[in-house]
Structure 1
Amino acid sequence: MNHTARLLHLDRTLDELDPPHWPPPAPDATALVRRVHELRRVRLGRLGPADLRTLVSQQVALPYVLPLAVRLLLEEPLLDAYFYEGDLLLATAGVPEVTWSLFPDLGVRLRSAIMELPQEALDALPRGAAEELALFAARPE
């Protein structure tokens, strides 16, 4: 299934699209674990930037959430999803290379967007972020 087809499932949840259905979290689960479980029951079209950042950083259902994240990042690469400008971009750039092989065109487009970022914007990111983005942008297509 290509990423465009995945985007057509915006009215469905990750529990529907990415089996098996997750049971409720354990009573002593962390807030992050509880949040990820909640997000799996939200329709894809209702996931906001912070939700996508959480799911991408936790590597949950990446075949469905990565195209949504990249779609936002192509419009605004340094989007402040929750913590700071560029947090969604850094989480997305940190996705394992094997996942990007499912979306070569998205990877090319995101690498291009990163390479177009002004140096001043990169310098304003947290320590090490510019280097991490440079490594991602330098990956072969």
Structure 2
Amino acid sequence: MGRLLHLDRTLDDLDPPRWAAPDADATHLVRTAHKLRCVPLSELRPADLRMLLTQRVALPYVLPLAVGLLLEEPLLDAYFYEGDLLLAAVAAPTSAWALLPDLAARLRAVIMGLPETAVGDLPRGVAEELARFAAQPGSPR
């Protein structure tokens, strides 16, 4: 988790190029993504991380932050429902996880250790996404 040594820096600092200001008619989502790129990593909340993950913004920096939270509380309710941050993380592209194989393996181990009852209570389709991620190469046996 070496990237976490820069918690006082922003995504604009760490993930060049800096983004230009959003257009005046930009959507709320676009304005929010732009705003979050200017927030120090240490100040990003779970809901912010979920949004950045789903929009695939600066994944080499955002994924480690999210996984750090998920290792402590895998079914964290970031904004919408229990497990929404976990779902956003496992939905990240394989190419992003390829840069973070140790974190991927740790998250897979956590997923495989979740009680079936907890996974069964998640919204439709989430259990399948978790199983898909856990079954990827490099999963603990």
2:6 match: secondary structure: coil
Match of 1:110 among 95, 107, 117: 107
**Could you tell me how far apart the structure 2 residues matched to 1:13 and 1:45 are?**
9
2:117 is aligned to 120
| RMSD after superposition | 0.6
**Could you tell me how far apart the structure 2 residues matched to 1:84 and 1:139 are?**
25
Match of 1:130 among 122, 127, 132: 127
2:137 match: secondary structure: coil
Q: CA-to-partner distance for each residue in 1:107-128, whole Å, 9 max, x for gaps?
A: 0100010011111111111111
1:79 is aligned to 76
Which residue type is aligned with residue 69 of structure 2? L
> What is the number of equivalent residue pairs in this alignment?
138
Gapped regions of structure 2 (runs ≥ 5): none
1:29 match: secondary structure: coil
Which aligned pairs between 1:1-141 and structure 2 lie closer than 5 A?
4-141=1-138
Q: CA-to-partner distance for each residue in 1:76-123, whole Å, 9 max, x for gaps?
A: 000000000000000000011111111111001000100111111111
Q: Aligned residues: percent identity?
A: 67
Moved over 2 A (4+): none
Gapped regions of structure 1 (runs ≥ 5): none
Q: Could you state the TM-score of these two structures normalised by the residue count of structure 2?
A: 0.96
Q: Could you state the TM-score of these two structures normalised by the residue count of structure 1?
A: 0.96
